[in-house]
Amino acid sequence: MTSDDTRVAGGGSASRARTLPFDTSVAHQARMYDYVLGGKDNYAADRKAAEAWLKIDPEAAFTARANRAFLGRAVRFLAGQVGIRQFLDIGTGIPTADNTHQVAQAVAPASRIVYVDYDPTVLAHARALVTSNQAGATDYIVADLRDTGVILRQAAGLLNFTKPVAVTMLAVLHAIPDSDDPHAIVATLMDAVPSGSYLAISHGGSDLIPRETRDGIKGVSDRMQQRIAYRDRDEVARFFAGLDLAAPGLVRVEEWRPEPDGPAGRSSAWCAVGRKR
């Protein structure tokens, strides 16, 4: 079976989902990523902000590519070595090559993937450019990652929460400010999945870039739809509290189980993959 319904969260005003209004005049992280990765689904404001960012932080282009490559290796590891068959991909972004479902279903065709993004247009791209393998299933939820109740309730339509689930949040938690307590959000999600489930995160590292660069990035981010808050290694490690980290532990994205022929460079993003006991 293949389901490609988007469930728009909400209904009752109490559980009304936060979604992002469509606005091309303000730079958007997903479209800036698309631009840096060589896509064409971006607008003038996105390109301008991305260029400003790259000027301050030239390594960001490598970080974006390395983050994407980490996604591929992490999902291959989870689907292959670990045998995970259910994925909850939060902060999907604009699809490029080798999206979660493609990587997972190449390993195990029956894999089920739920994509979550709070931008209906970004999610429309994911849906349109994604052709689910017939044996597996892919579903789409329009929801803000802060609305964990909405996400979990709707993801249960496709995912079986009594079996292990891999929750992936790549380059997305740094768009959640401390005031929204991202650590509690991650804990809520991991509480909902059984033992043997996994968490994969990548996150901009405030201790991986010089202070001036951080200040410069803040200047760009203030003009984006997302405010970017990089965190240091300890803060990223706290997302994995109570989980066992898969080797090699918490490292920069290009260092996590690197493959030969991987791009060379030094990123400014931390990542890890952890298993729930």
Q: Is 226 helix (H, G, I), strand (E, B) or coil?
A: coil
Q: Is 234 helix (H, G, I), strand (E, B) or coil?
A: helix
Measured from the CB of residue 120, what is the shortest distance to another protein in angstroms? 4
Tokens 């080797």 belong to residue: 247
* Residue 28: Cβ-neighbour burial (10 angstroms; 0-12, 13-18, 19+): buried
Measured between alpha carbons, how far is 225 from 107 in angstroms, rounded to an integer?
A: 36
Strands 269-276 and 251-252: antiparallel
Strands 166-170 and 137-142: unpaired
- Count residues near another protein (CB under 8 A): 22
Among residues 38, 58, 177, 219, which is the contact residue for another protein, using CB under 8 A?
A: 38
Cα–Cα–Cα angle for 179, 182, 156, nearest 5°?
Answer: 130
Q: Is 174 in the site for another protein (CB under 8 A)?
A: no
Tokens 């490292």 belong to residue: 251
Measured from the CB of residue 141, what is the shortest distance to another protein in angstroms? 11
Q: Is 3 in the site for another protein (CB under 8 A)?
A: yes
Site residues (CB under 8 A) for another protein, limited to 108-147? 119-121, 123-125, 127-129, 131, 140
Task: Decide whether 15 or 131 has the Cβ nearer to another protein.
Answer: 131
Residues forming beta bridges with residue 116, ordered by sequence position: 90, 141
Measured between alpha carbons, how far is 242 from 271 in angstroms, rounded to an integer?
A: 16
Q: Is 4 in the site for another protein (CB under 8 A)?
A: yes
Task: Decide whether 140 or 230 has the Cβ nearer to another protein.
Answer: 140
Task: Decide whether 19 or 202 has the Cβ nearer to another protein.
Answer: 19
Stretch that binds another protein, among 39-47, 54-62, 222-230, 238-246 (CB under 8 A): 39-47
Task: Decide whether 44 or 241 has the Cβ nearer to another protein.
Answer: 44
Q: Is 5 in the site for another protein (CB under 8 A)?
A: yes
Q: Is 22 in the site for another protein (CB under 8 A)?
A: yes
Tokens 């070595």 belong to residue: 81
Looking at residue 96, its amino acid is T
Measured from the CB of residue 5, what is the shortest distance to another protein in angstroms? 5
Tokens 């003038």 belong to residue: 44
Stretch that binds another protein, among 34-42, 178-186, 189-197, 209-217 (CB under 8 A): 34-42
Among residues 11, 15, 16, 44, which is the contact residue for another protein, using CB under 8 A?
A: 44
Q: Is 96 in the site for another protein (CB under 8 A)?
A: no
Tokens 């033992």 belong to residue: 195
Footprint of another protein on this chain (CB under 8 A)?
A: 3-6, 22, 24, 38, 40-41, 43-44, 119-121, 123-125, 127-129, 131, 140
